[in-house]
Amino acid sequence: MYGVAYDGAECADPIHTFARADSPGVHVALLHASVRDAAHWRPSPDALAVTGDALARLAVDYIALGDHHRPRMPDDFGGPPACYPGSFAATDLTEAGERGYVLVQVAPGRTPEVEHRASGVRAVSAVELDVSGLAHDVAVSEAAAARLPDGAIPAIRLVGEPSFPLDTDAVTAELRERYGHAAVVDETRYFAAERLDELAEGDTVAGHVVRLGRRRIREAADGREREIAQRALRAALRALEVE
């Protein structure tokens, strides 16, 4: 079994120091490493950065990799007998999908046999929900729950054009009450344009709020400022109990 300990400030490429021991049996390298030529993965600054070619030059029977949290089997590396097993369980609510581990059979000089197995832990389920046509926050929570598999941890992305001042915090709280954990990302178009048009025409407090809110949205310097202005408009309309 081989590993590596190094000071990144002193040795930027420690993998070139590897030397296989002159002894019989199975030789396995255990590396917490980011493969730099993986198109779908950016190397972590806290992990050993290696290339697929560097892995291929390691004269070992199997390379057990850590750092990347999704499974990547040896066939995906195109040569090196390397494998990312993925995380056994989701480390946060961005890691959607089934989690697991690998069972590996290794013999000297032979291609390793790698089997990925489900860990059976609760999985994060990513759901996109169009809230257009839904009447209130409870309806949004119910619609999200209806899309989730049994036992899932919800990670919901809300899209569409709500016809009411959507309260994302209320939706998140309701889902957390049901499932223990939940993440809700709001990518809706802040409030149905037709309904806002109606409110903006009125000589009312709500009408003034809509006109002011829309102006701030138009004048936002960037996406972050625009999002804040949209959230402020929703909060103001909820406080006024506008429906």
CA 46 – CA 33 distance, rounded (Å): 9
**Domain assignment present for 3:** no
Q: What pLDDT is stored for residue 200 in this prediction?
A: 87
Query: Can you give the residue range of the structural domain that contains 241?
Result: 190-243
pLDDT band at 87 (very low <50, low <70, confident <90, very high): very high
Helix axis angle, 168-179 to 137-146, nearest 10°: 40
pLDDT of residue 192: 67
pLDDT at 3 over 70: yes
75 and 156 part of one domain: no
Helix (H, G, I), strand (E, B) or coil at 185: strand
Cα–Cα distance for residue pair 207/230, rounded to 1 Å: 15
Residue 184 lies in a domain: yes
Confidence (pLDDT) at 128:
96
Between 156 and 68, where is the model more confident? 156
C-beta of residue 104 within 8 angstroms of C-beta of residue 112? yes
Clarify whether residues 113 and 19 are in a common domain: yes
Domains of the chain: total: 3
Higher-pLDDT residue of 59 and 243 is 59
Residues 67 and 99 in one domain: yes
Domain C-terminal end among 94, 118, 142: 118
Q: Is residue 4 part of a domain?
A: no
User: Is there a single domain that holds both residue 138 and residue 75?
Assistant: no
pTM of the model: 0.69
- On whether both 196 and 183 belong to a single domain, the answer is no
Q: Are residues 146 and 92 in the same domain?
A: no
Residues 223 and 182 in one domain: no
User: What's the pLDDT band for 187 if we cut at 50, 70, 90?
Assistant: confident
Residue-level pLDDT at 124: 94
- Please check whether residue 27 lies inside any domain of the structure: yes
Query: Measured between alpha carbons, how far is 79 from 112 in angstroms, rounded to an integer?
Result: 12
Residue 237: band (very low, low, confident or very high) from pLDDT cuts 50, 70, 90: confident
Between vectors from CA 160 to CA 158 and to CA 166, what angle results, nearest 5°?
A: 60
Is there a single domain that holds both residue 147 and residue 158?
A: yes
Question: Running DSSP on this structure, what letter comes out for residue 42?
Answer: P
20 lies in the same domain as 74 = yes
pLDDT at 88: 94
Do 85 and 139 fall within a single domain?
A: no
Final residue of a structural domain among 166, 189, 212: 189
**Residue 112 scores a pLDDT above 90:** yes
* Alpha carbon distance 146, 150 (integer Å): 10
C-alpha 168, offset from chain centre: 19
Q: Is the model's pLDDT at 130 over the cut of 70?
A: yes
Cα distance between residue 192 and residue 164, in whole Å: 7
pLDDT of residue 171: 96
Amino acid at 58: L
Q: What is the pLDDT of residues 21-75, one digit of tens each?
A: 888 999 999 988 888 765 555 666 667 888 888 888 888 999 999 888 888 899 8
pLDDT at 9 over 80: no
Residues 6, 178: Cα–Cα separation, whole Å: 46
Q: What's the pLDDT at 243?
A: 66
Copy the structure tokens of residue 62. 């199997």
- List Cα–Cα distances, 169 to 124, 165, 180, 234, in angstroms: 19, 12, 15, 12
pLDDT tens for each residue of 192-232? 677 788 888 889 998 899 899 888 988 998 988 988 888 88
- Say whether both 164 and 196 belong to one domain: no
d(CA 57, CA 124) in angstroms, rounded, equals: 37
Q: Which of 101, 118, 135 is the last residue of a domain?
A: 118
